[in-house]
């Protein structure tokens, strides 16, 4: 059966390509979804791509992914730096979790240097622009093939 990867995006990422191109680039979230769709297909993976501005909705999606997904790729946006609820939800998951940040959070304001999600993530990709999503899918494919995904 096809392994499906859930790619989740947090608050304000729907604004990609519309503001702050010097930080986040010029690609829109629809461009990122297309990129992920193409890469997932090439890797033989299914894809569900989501974005929410609401912490509780992200928690619900993580809970659903526990049984529905082979892996989670998440850019939690600013919730990375604040959300114990998202960390708790991810901690209930046994599937691989990869954290993506478009910008290099370690080169930015000090409040962005800490991520609660990193306490659970199996790997973190930061500063590769939107290509970080493609890199995460590549790595997820190797984890899933090694039997670490459902």
* Catalytic machinery residues: 24, 101
CB nearer to ligand CA2: give 83 or 103.
103
Using the rule CB under 6 A, is 72 a contact of ligand CA2?
no
CB nearer to ligand CA2: give 71 or 77.
77
CB nearer to ligand CA2: give 94 or 138.
138
In SS3 terms, the chain reads as CCCEEEEEECCCHHHCCCCCHHHHCCCCHHHHHHHHHHHHHHHCCEEEEEECCCHHHHHHHHHHHHHHCCEEEEECHHHHHCCHHHHHHHHCCCCCEEEEECCCHHHCCHHHCCCCHHHCCCEEEECCCCHHHHHHHHHHHHHHHCCCCC
**Binding residues for ligand CA2 (CB under 6 A):** 12-13, 15-16, 18-20, 24, 75, 77-78, 80, 101-103, 105, 112
């Amino acid at each position: 059966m096809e392994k499906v990867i859930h790619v989740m995006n947090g608050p304000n990422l729907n604004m990609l390509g519309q503001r702050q191109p010097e930080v986040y680039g010029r690609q829109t979230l629809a461009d990122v979804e297309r990129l992920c769709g193409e890469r997932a297909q090439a890797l033989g993976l299914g894809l569900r791509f989501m974005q929410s501005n609401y912490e509780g909705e992200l928690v619900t999606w993580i809970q659903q992914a526990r049984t529905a997904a082979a892996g989670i790729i998440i850019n939690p946006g600013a919730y990375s730096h604040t959300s114990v609820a998202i960390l708790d939800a991810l901690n209930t998951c046994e599937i691989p979790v990869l954290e993506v940040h478009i910008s290099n959070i370690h080169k930015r304001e000090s409040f962005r240097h800490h991520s609660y999600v990193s306490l659970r993530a199996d790997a973190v990709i930061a500063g590769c622009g939107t290509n970080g999503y493609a890199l995460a899918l590549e790595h997820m494919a190797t984890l899933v093939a090694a039997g670490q995904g459902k």
